[in-house]
């Protein structure tokens, strides 16, 4: 399961970063100073990596077949 989550991590992080960039691009005062914008975009990249960890696990869980999910639940419980 963790191999599948590792496989889903980078695309999930990319989509999360894209959503954050779209949200940040509509803020009008952000384009006025480069240093403020750079700091905000770098922190958005870091935040997207942090958010992508649990999201990748959820995506990997959804990628499993019904039988594999049942086997994982039986082993965990």
Confidence of residue 77 (pLDDT cuts 50, 70, 90): low
Mean pLDDT score, 7-28: 93
**The dihedral of CA 48, 29, 31, 40: what is its sign?**
negative
Instruction: Please tell me whether the overall predicted TM-score, pTM, comes out greater than 0.85 for this model.
Output: no
Phi then psi for residue 26, to 5 deg, are: -90, 0
Q: Give CA–CA dist 9/17, Å, rounded.
A: 12
pLDDT confidence of residue 13: 96
Please count the CA atoms within 13 angstroms of the CA of 57 that sit on its side-chain side.
6
């Amino acid at each position: 399961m963790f191999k599948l989550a590792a496989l889903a991590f980078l695309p999930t992080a990319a989509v999360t970063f894209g959503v954050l960039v779209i949200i940040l691009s509509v803020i009008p005062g952000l384009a006025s100073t480069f240093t403020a914008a750079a700091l905000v975009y770098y922190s958005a990249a870091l935040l997207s990596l942090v958010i992508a960890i649990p999201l990748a696990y959820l995506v990997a869980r959804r990628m499993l077949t019904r039988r594999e999910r049942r086997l994982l639940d039986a082993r965990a419980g």
